[in-house]
Structure formats: structure tokens, C-alpha cells
Amino acid sequence: MITTILTFTRQSSGLGDLIGYLIVFIVVSLIIFLIMREVVTWYWKINRMIGLQEKQIKNQEEQLKLMILQANLLKEQNAMLRQGSKNE
């Protein structure tokens, strides 16, 4: 593919042709890169791992909220027990 582009650039007479071929080469290379990236990430299951990590983060955030609520309830319960023991 590169030799084809080099052959075209040697035959081209203007700078505009060279820029045009360069742009086409860059676009085609980018498309090939994106396709190969998807294949590699699919093979190594990277996309799936990222999804699982996002689920873990959500679960941890929910657990943190529940732990904060539990801590607040325990504080209230301890305060009520202390008030009850003072009144006796």
C-alpha cells in the first residue's frame, strides 16, 4: 500500500495531488487502526472488563451509601441509649 502511494506521488506533478494522496492514506490508516483496535480489544476482552469494572464501581458506591446510613443510625441509637442511661 505504501509503495502504491509512493509511486503515485512520484508521478504526480503538483503539490495538491501529493496532499490529496496523503489525506487518503491517513484516512485509510485511521480506519484500519480503529478496526484492528476493536479486534484486539475484543480478543483480550478489554471492553468486557471495563464494563465489569464500571458495575463494581456502582456497587461500591451503593455500599458506601448504605454504610453511611448504617453509621448514622448507630450514632442515633448510641445517643438514645446514653440519654436513657442518664435518666435512670
Please measure the distance between the N-terminal and C-terminal CA atoms of the chain and give it in whole angstroms.
91
Phi, psi (deg, nearest 5) at residue 14:
-120, 165
**pLDDT computed for residue 1 by the predictor:** 60
Instruction: Please give the C-alpha separations between residue 63 and each of 28, 68, 69, 72, 88, in angstroms, as whole numbers.
Output: 47, 9, 10, 14, 38
Tens digits of per-residue pLDDT, 33-67? 999 998 888 888 888 899 999 999 999 999 999 99
Confidence class for position 9, pLDDT limits 50, 70, 90: low
Residue 27 has pLDDT above 80, yes or no: yes
**Domain residue ranges of the chain, discontinuous segments joined by +:** 1-44, 46-88
Identify the pLDDT of residue 61: 98
